[in-house]
């Protein structure tokens, strides 16, 4: 599963860089558990055994699950018959326990004879009528009604994300949303729509017969075996998956989806269906969105040495989806954030999410974490697939850049929610497992392991893990054993510190150069909190650059304070700690600016070159010819993020270099292949170029650039030079069907819009084009717009705030109170100013002016009262 973390950094990142979007990444239900109750109880608890989330005991082996279902759209219910074939796992038994949440159980039978059962709305205990041994299979049939919307969720507030089965706009009242049904099983919600053993260590083959009105397309796991017309005008689709998988991966989708066909060719020449289920208006964009999928299947199959194991690979886009995306076997669900036109895709695609879900088909679907504590066996690999895909498709720099983003995501998440072991046996709630540890940190750990073992051993180890454990659950020891067997190395030290430890290394790195004897010492101190984290064992590469070139040395850091000395020839040019820039560690390093400068020009990895640029232009060195030249050179770097950083650094240029940079950056604005760089270049130039020239550049981009990000930036820059012209241009862009463009226009109106912009704001916020953060961005722009308006205009916007407070998206609702508080404080400031004005008019005996000011103050006070009816604090 790919979830959405809410951190502010993500917001800032999105705002500043349109390259790739991270709004796909959760909305967590994570909470702090450091409440007072817990702290008070901590002492008592210390006397007890610590929490241990053990793996579910296997009493029964599921063998096959057949479901026959139809849907009652008006009641949001599903009528089902489950035919479950099972056997005792080891010990003989006369009963079977099934998870079945909030259902009506109508009848339970075996071979047409009714069986007795008990049911408490969570667990269905069926008495089989005789004792079965582990060599005896049996089949029970359960007739039931699933009622996801009527479930009583054990006294706590109903959590919308564990309904399992979702009817979206089932009566079709909302004309903006295509009616549809979809499911979300992970973690343990499949048992809301069929009775099963709802744990990740259960596996079963599956077939589903879905009866629907003829107009609907259906999707489920496995192959479509048949599609039969019924006499009553309905149709029954038979989907069958012959390979076993865990119940949380079961999936159904129903709706008037268009099915766009694609194909993957296996190495033996056979073809496999790869279909994209989208709403009609997105049919023409489906291949632009998902079209890399066959190439991904091919790449990952080769890399892993295990051919894609399932029958087909279909992807579907769901409305009101409760997560980012979900790896249901061969039937992957995405939230509607992936709906993007070809033009929108120029500013960032969702291939990371597509790769993530696909990789789960080996890690999660083929080999499954045996318990939620072992979730990193699923999510760390899925996270790392994003690196693997970027590396293959876009090169090492892009992969390394995304790795930095992932690393920051881990630090942020850990800071907000606390540190814990990667394999986490004492969580309070299984949903906590879906955090920056299981995903981001786990991905970085796998990268370090790959670095340590080398590509060959790493991928051979993975291949062994997959083939040894296929169609079975696994725990993290099995991963270690596979790597140990292949590499011949004991890897307990690695797994203990990274999988069974918390936190990360914090390193002080210093250098001591002995120019007399041509020696340089690397002095490393481990500074992490040892109450939380171990003393790490960290094999790293040290690159020493001297008069003869580059030499790479191995250094093993395994104590608190360490010093390694290396010889160099001639002059020491630079020294790069962790040459591969693969360590997950916070590093405080000190070395001369000249060495950083050298590092920019000579290091191989993106992160090292960026370090070189940042610190090679910091302090007095930036004023030297070399420092100035570094910024100019970085503007021509091969990698977009370095060019972007160089644009930011260009403010430090002096004299004739300013003109040189303007020329270079003007060229970036017009021609850079990356839209983020073009947009940043335009922003930089807005107060650098002479206004006629800048106007010409902006008009050129507004008319010729395809990227909405660039057009938005051009609009903003133009607004700083020629407001009237910018507003005129914005008018023509209002109707673009792009979330980014609408939010760009809103930004301009926020800064310069007149009263007539109200119609635009209303259309934008009530329309269906804005997505995720952009909706919040437009609301923020409306607030800035209001700051410049008269009370009568502001009053007209109130209903819009009210509407957004009720129907807005997650982020909009989250930041609504900030917007309201901002307005109220503006009203108060105005009233204070008016008080002063009134006093001044009275002093000067200007009664008429004083009255007018009083009326205005009254208007602001009324506005304050009005807006106070909206939330002002969280």
Binding residues (CB under 5 A) for Zn ion: these are 1-2, 379, 382
Residue 1 or 338 with smaller CB distance to Zn ion = 1
Residue 26 or 382 with smaller CB distance to Zn ion = 382
Residue 327 or 391 with smaller CB distance to Zn ion = 327
CB 324 within 8 A of CB 26: yes
**What's 295-320 look like in SS3?**
HHHHHHHHHHCCCCCCCCCEEEEECC
Name the residue number minimizing CB distance to Zn ion. 382
Residue 189 or 528 with smaller CB distance to Zn ion = 189
Shortest Å distance, C-beta 356 to Zn ion: 5
Contacts of 753 (CB under 8 A, 6+ apart): 727, 760, 785
Report d(CA 770, CA 736) in Å as an integer.
11
For residue 140, the SS3 value is strand
| E strand or H helix at 44 | helix 36-46
* Strand 77-88 versus strand 60-72 pairing type: antiparallel
For residue 462, the SS3 value is helix
For residue 479, the SS3 value is helix
Residue 343 or 360 with smaller CB distance to Zn ion = 360
Residue 2 or 437 with smaller CB distance to Zn ion = 2
Return the axis-axis angle of helices 656-671 and 640-649, rounded to nearest 10°. Answer: 140
Residue 1 or 26 with smaller CB distance to Zn ion = 1
Shortest Å distance, C-beta 95 to Zn ion: 35
Residue 379 or 859 with smaller CB distance to Zn ion = 379
Report d(CA 628, CA 653) in Å as an integer.
6
Shortest Å distance, C-beta 206 to Zn ion: 21
**What's 176-220 look like in SS3?**
CCCCEEEECCCCCCHHHCCCECCCCCCCEEEEEEEEEECCCEEEE
Report d(CA 42, CA 39) in Å as an integer.
5
Rg of the chain on CA atoms, in Å = 30
| Nearest one of 308, 198, 296 to 249, comparing CA atoms | 198
| Nearest one of 235, 2, 105, 6 to 772, comparing CA atoms | 6
Shortest Å distance, C-beta 296 to Zn ion: 15
For residue 514, the SS3 value is strand
Neighbours of 352 (CB within 10 A): 23
Sheet-wide strand order for 113-114? 113-114, 104-110, 138-146, 77-88, 60-72, 204-213, 234-245, 223-229
Report d(CA 477, CA 495) in Å as an integer.
8
Contacts of 53 (CB under 8 A, 6+ apart): 371, 372, 373, 424, 425, 426, 427, 430
* Strand 271-278 versus strand 314-318 pairing type: parallel
Shortest Å distance, C-beta 476 to Zn ion: 17
Q: In angstroms, what CA-CA distances link 256 with 181, 229, 417, 504?
A: 10, 17, 41, 49
The residue to which tokens 């952009």 are assigned? 774
Contacts of 180 (CB under 8 A, 6+ apart): 168, 169, 253, 254, 255, 257, 318, 319
Shortest Å distance, C-beta 1 to Zn ion: 4
Residue 440 or 617 with smaller CB distance to Zn ion = 440
Shortest Å distance, C-beta 334 to Zn ion: 12
Neighbours of 337 (CB within 10 A): 20
CB 838 within 8 A of CB 853: yes
Residue 332 or 770 with smaller CB distance to Zn ion = 332
Residue 2 or 340 with smaller CB distance to Zn ion = 2
Shortest Å distance, C-beta 468 to Zn ion: 22
Residue 1 or 572 with smaller CB distance to Zn ion = 1
Residue 2 or 740 with smaller CB distance to Zn ion = 2
For residue 86, the SS3 value is strand
Shortest Å distance, C-beta 537 to Zn ion: 29
Shortest Å distance, C-beta 364 to Zn ion: 7
Residue 1 or 613 with smaller CB distance to Zn ion = 1
Shortest Å distance, C-beta 592 to Zn ion: 43
What are the φ and ψ backbone dihedral angles of 297, each rounded to 5 degrees? -60, -45
Shortest Å distance, C-beta 376 to Zn ion: 11
Q: Which residues are 485's β-sheet partners?
A: none
Neighbours of 66 (CB within 10 A): 20
Report d(CA 339, CA 280) in Å as an integer.
12
The residue to which tokens 């329309």 are assigned? 767
Residue 383 or 417 with smaller CB distance to Zn ion = 383
Shortest Å distance, C-beta 167 to Zn ion: 25
Shortest Å distance, C-beta 370 to Zn ion: 17
Q: In angstroms, what CA-CA distances link 368 with 193, 244, 363, 471?
A: 21, 11, 6, 8
Shortest Å distance, C-beta 382 to Zn ion: 4
CB 336 within 8 A of CB 323: no
Shortest Å distance, C-beta 771 to Zn ion: 21
Report d(CA 189, CA 200) in Å as an integer.
12
CB 519 within 8 A of CB 551: no
Shortest Å distance, C-beta 686 to Zn ion: 41
Residue 292 or 379 with smaller CB distance to Zn ion = 379
Shortest Å distance, C-beta 361 to Zn ion: 11
Residue 2 or 240 with smaller CB distance to Zn ion = 2
CB 777 within 8 A of CB 746: yes
- CA-based end-to-end distance of the chain: 28
* Strand 549-557 versus strand 538-546 pairing type: antiparallel
Residue 379 or 611 with smaller CB distance to Zn ion = 379
């Amino acid at each position: 599963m790919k979830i959405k973390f809410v951190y502010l950094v993500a917001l800032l990142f999105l705002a500043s860089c349109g390259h790739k979007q991270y709004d796909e990444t959760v909305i967590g239900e994570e909470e702090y558990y450091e409440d007072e109750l817990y702290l008070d109880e901590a002492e008592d608890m210390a006397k007890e055994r610590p929490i241990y989330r053990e793996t579910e005991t296997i009493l029964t082996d599921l063998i096959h699950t057949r479901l026959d279902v139809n849907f009652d759209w008006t009641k949001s219910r599903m009528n089902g018959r489950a035919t479950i074939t099972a056997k005792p796992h080891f010990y003989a038994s006369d009963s079977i326990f099934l998870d079945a949440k909030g259902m009506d159980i109508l009848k339970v039978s075996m071979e047409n004879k009714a069986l007795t059962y008990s049911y408490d709305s969570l667990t269905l205990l069926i008495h089989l009528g005789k004792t079965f041994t582990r060599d005896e299979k049996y089949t029970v049939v359960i007739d039931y009604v699933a009622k996801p919307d009527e479930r009583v969720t054990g006294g706590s507030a109903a959590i919308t994300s564990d309904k399992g089965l979702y009817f979206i706009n089932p009566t079709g009242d909302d004309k903006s949303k295509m009616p549809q049904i979809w499911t979300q099983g992970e973690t343990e919600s499949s048992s809301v729509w069929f009775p099963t053993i709802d744990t990740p260590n259960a596996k079963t083959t599956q077939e589903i017969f879905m009866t629907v009105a003829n107009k609907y397309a259906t999707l489920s796991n496995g192959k479509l075996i048949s599609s039969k017309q019924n006499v009553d005008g309905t149709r029954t689709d038979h989907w069958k998956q012959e390979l076993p998988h865990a119940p949380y991966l079961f999936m159904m989708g129903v709706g008037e989806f268009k099915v766009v066909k694609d194909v993957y060719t296996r190495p033996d020449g056979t073809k496999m269906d790869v279909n994209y289920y989208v709403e009609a208006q997105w049919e023409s964009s489906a291949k632009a969105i998902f079209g890399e999928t066959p190439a991904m299947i091919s790449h990952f199959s080769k890399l892993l040495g295990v051919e894609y194991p399932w029958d087909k690979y279909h992807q579907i886009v769901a409305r009101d989806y409760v997560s980012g995306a979900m790896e249901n076997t061969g039937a992957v669900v995405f939230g509607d954030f992936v709906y993007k036109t070809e033009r929108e895709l120029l500013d960032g695609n969702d291939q990371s999410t597509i790769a993530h879900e696909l990789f789960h088909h080996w890690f999660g679907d083929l080999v499954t974490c045996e318990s939620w504590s072992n979730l990193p066996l699923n999510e760390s690999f899925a996270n790392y697939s994003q690196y693997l895909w970027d590396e293959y498709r876009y090169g090492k720099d892009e992969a390394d850049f995304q790795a930095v983003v992932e690393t920051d995501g881990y630090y942020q998440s850990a800071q907000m929610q606390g540190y814990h072991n990667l394999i986490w046996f004492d969580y309070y709630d299984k949903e906590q497992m879906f955090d920056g540890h299981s995903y981001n940190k786990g991905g970085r750990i796998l990268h370090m392991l790959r670095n340590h073992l080398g590509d060959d051993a790493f991928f051979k180890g993975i291949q062994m893990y997959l083939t040894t454990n296929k169609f079975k659950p696994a725990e993290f020891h099995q991963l270690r054993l596979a790597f140990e067997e292949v590499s011949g190395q004991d890897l307990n030290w690695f797994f203990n510190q990274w999988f069974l430890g918390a936190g990360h290394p914090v390193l002080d790195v210093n250098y001591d150069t002995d120019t007399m004897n041509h020696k340089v010492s690397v002095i490393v101190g481990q500074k992490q909190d040892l109450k939380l984290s171990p003393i790490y064992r960290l094999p790293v590469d040290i690159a020493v650059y001297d008069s003869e070139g580059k030499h790479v040395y191995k250094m093993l850091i395994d104590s608190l304070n360490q010093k390694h000395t290396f010889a160099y020839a001639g002059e020491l040019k630079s020294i790069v700690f962790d040459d591969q820039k693969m360590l997950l560690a916070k590093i405080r390093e000190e070395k001369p600016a000249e060495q950083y400068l050298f590092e920019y020009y000579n290091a191989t990895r993106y992160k090292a070159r960026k370090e070189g640029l940042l610190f090679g232009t910091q302090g007095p060195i930036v004023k030297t010819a070399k420092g100035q030249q570094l910024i100019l050179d970085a503007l021509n770097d091969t990698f977009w993020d370095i060019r972007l950083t160089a644009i930011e650094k260009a403010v430090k240029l002096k004299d004739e270099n300013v003109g040189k940079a303007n020329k270079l950056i003007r060229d970036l604005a017009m021609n850079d292949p990356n839209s983020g760089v073009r947009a940043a270049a335009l922003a930089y130039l807005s107060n650098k170029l002479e206004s006629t020239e800048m106007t010409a550049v902006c008009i050129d981009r507004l008319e010729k650039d395809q990227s909405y990000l660039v057009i938005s930036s051009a609009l903003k820059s133009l607004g700083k030079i020629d407001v009237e012209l910018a507003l005129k241009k914005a008018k023509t862009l209002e109707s673009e069907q792009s979330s980014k463009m609408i939010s760009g226009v809103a930004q301009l109106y926020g800064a310069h819009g007149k009263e007539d912009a109200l119609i635009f704001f209303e259309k934008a916020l009530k329309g269906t084009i804005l997505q995720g953060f952009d909706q919040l961005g437009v609301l923020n722009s409306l607030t800035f717009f209001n700051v410049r308006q008269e009370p009568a205009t502001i009053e007209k916007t109130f209903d819009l705030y009210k509407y957004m407070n009720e129907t807005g998206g997650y982020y909009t609702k989250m930041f609504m109170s900030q917007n309201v508080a901002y307005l109220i404080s503006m009203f108060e400031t105005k009233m204070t100013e008016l008080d002063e004005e009134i006093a001044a008019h009275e002093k000067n005996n200007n009664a008429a002016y004083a009255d007018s000011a009083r009326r205005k103050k009254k208007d602001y006070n009324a506005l304050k009262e009005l807006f106070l009816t909206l939330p002002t604090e969280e």
